[in-house]
Structure 1
């Protein structure tokens, strides 16, 4: 089975490194020339591309594969799919990004399935940092695919010595767990940046997971998926490590510092997308952390006022 990774950011390159250590893989990059020559990405300094990893700039060449991994920001995926002229019929298309489309509220795998109905869509998600994968450190991820036969083939072809994949057919749960945990990670970062302490972070993580579960189950996610790697597992990782872009973004906001506009922070768009979807519905009042994250990241409310609003909510049962 031939494999292509589209996108030479940190995560896409890390996947190409991990897979390339054991089998052939093609990595599509806009700056393919320098990457192919130097065999090292500025996103992953000190990590060398294996000999089995071929770097190309031509998209048509890259798409000449049985399995295509889409490792690009979620908000770029829709437009990118519209730009593809090569047929994707009968290919396995694996989303390797997290988030929700601002317009449709679709997750990446759902978007792939809708735009490419004659392909086999899947999503690879879960608690992972690109540097850990590239260094060969043990990492477990969820592979969600509704086609059982395709899932088995993908699980076998994408698993490596350090990358262990678990299958599920719950598309929605895997997508929403991976997307919504980024919102809670921003909140956890704000808490730590504002100096509120680990107890407050634990409360945000716990209540944030309750919010995540409320929204995702209404959308059709299975509770067991949300309790797994793509939900609870990913939430724990991104809320407790400064390797997380979303956590760092929240930390800077909590500190009152400027944020890096060159870094993709999917949780910002996801919080906005969720609130736009639930506005004026019963579930809106059940998402207080998401509401505050959206307000703070959009500059509509201060960190101090957001904290006061959350602590002043009516007392209730858990």
Structure 2
């Protein structure tokens, strides 16, 4: 299968490496002046992996799009709309777009598949998402994991799972696109909360964070029309180890550095996602105390210890409303 991976950061480069490794014809595409693209083009290496010579590289978007049967996009989620403006200038009929980033567009509250849907006719250009746990640092060492591919197009979903499955990544067929996308995006917000607890030396509280975080994200998924049980799957709860505990998690590290007063220089998708989810919670009248606390700390200047205290002072209620 001919695949173009648009975006050559940490995860984008790993996807290109993985798809080449399992036998696909891969182009890795990045912005001409981006440091990560220049480094990969010139050295075929970055901080995580080495590209074989079989992976072709280009900064020409038309070349990448024309090559592909499947276009995999792995960029900052908040830049997707502007990027799709350029991608959509090309003929996308008969191609499949696979989104490998996790977020919600903060200006509209739209899931990322909905953003792409604003630019394409899905009957001609199906959209899928690829979500779940895993770090490049583990995959390149041969440590396997499980992930999910989801789409409204059942045949495309089955084909992608069949083509991309291997003994390194076991793929599952997603059954709830809303839940898959919201769950995947929300785990980054919970990851920031976990990092905050680490920074405060409250690491033992992360078990409670996992339990209660999953419950509130399940409520949001249900309110948006998805299946609340998706929050307990690979898109969300299944990604907690990689996001709430791993030293390689950008979102966890962001939260820890925030407490310590250290400037975090890399992308932490959970920052803007906390705002997007907070606004969705307000719009759909969903109680999201952890998301709201993270939002208040990041955007309203709230005191971290005060937010934790308020969480503990909330009125007593049943653990499960069943």
TM-score where L is the length of structure 2? 0.91
Query: Counterpart of 2:242?
Result: 237
Mapped contact 1:17–1:49 kept (Cα < 8 A): yes
1:267 equivalent to 2:267? Answer no
Aligned mate of 1:163, from 146, 169, 187 = 169
- 1:120 and 1:282 map into 2 onto residues whose CA distance is 32
1:297 equivalent to 2:301? Answer no
- 1:22 and 1:197 map into 2 onto residues whose CA distance is 38
Query: Counterpart of 2:5?
Result: 5
Query: Counterpart of 1:21?
Result: 21
Deviation, 1:278, is 2.9
Query: Counterpart of 1:212?
Result: 217
- 1:311 and 1:224 map into 2 onto residues whose CA distance is 26
Distance 1:35 1:247, change over 3 A: same
Distance 1:278 1:93, change over 3 A: same
Mapped contact 1:19–1:160 kept (Cα < 8 A): no
The farther-off stretch of 236-245 and 204-213 is 236-245
The list of structure 1 runs, each at least 4 consecutive aligned residues, that deviate by more than 3 angstroms after superposition, is: 31-34
Query: Counterpart of 2:56?
Result: 54
Deviation, 1:26, is 0.7
Query: Counterpart of 2:43?
Result: 38
Mapped contact 1:18–1:160 kept (Cα < 8 A): no
Mapped contact 2:219–2:228 kept (Cα < 8 A): no
- The 5-angstrom pairing of residues 176-255 of structure 1 reads 176-198=182-204, 200-255=205-260
TM-score where L is the length of structure 1? 0.92
Mapped contact 1:144–1:167 kept (Cα < 8 A): yes
For these two proteins, the number of residue pairs brought into alignment is 310
Deviation, 1:281, is 5.6
Deviation, 1:254, is 2.8
Aligned mate of 1:93, from 92, 97, 104 = 97
- 1:80 and 1:197 map into 2 onto residues whose CA distance is 38
Query: Counterpart of 2:115?
Result: 111
1:277 equivalent to 2:280? Answer yes
- The 5-angstrom pairing of residues 61-80 of structure 1 reads 61-64=63-66, 65-80=68-83
- 1:258 and 1:34 map into 2 onto residues whose CA distance is 27
Mapped contact 2:199–2:255 kept (Cα < 8 A): yes
| Unaligned stretches of 5+ residues in structure 1 | none
Mapped contact 2:218–2:229 kept (Cα < 8 A): no
1:173 equivalent to 2:175? Answer no
- 2:38 and 2:132 map into 1 onto residues whose CA distance is 31
- 1:16 and 1:153 map into 2 onto residues whose CA distance is 18
Mapped contact 2:103–2:270 kept (Cα < 8 A): yes
Deviation, 1:88, is 1.3
- 1:253 and 1:280 map into 2 onto residues whose CA distance is 28
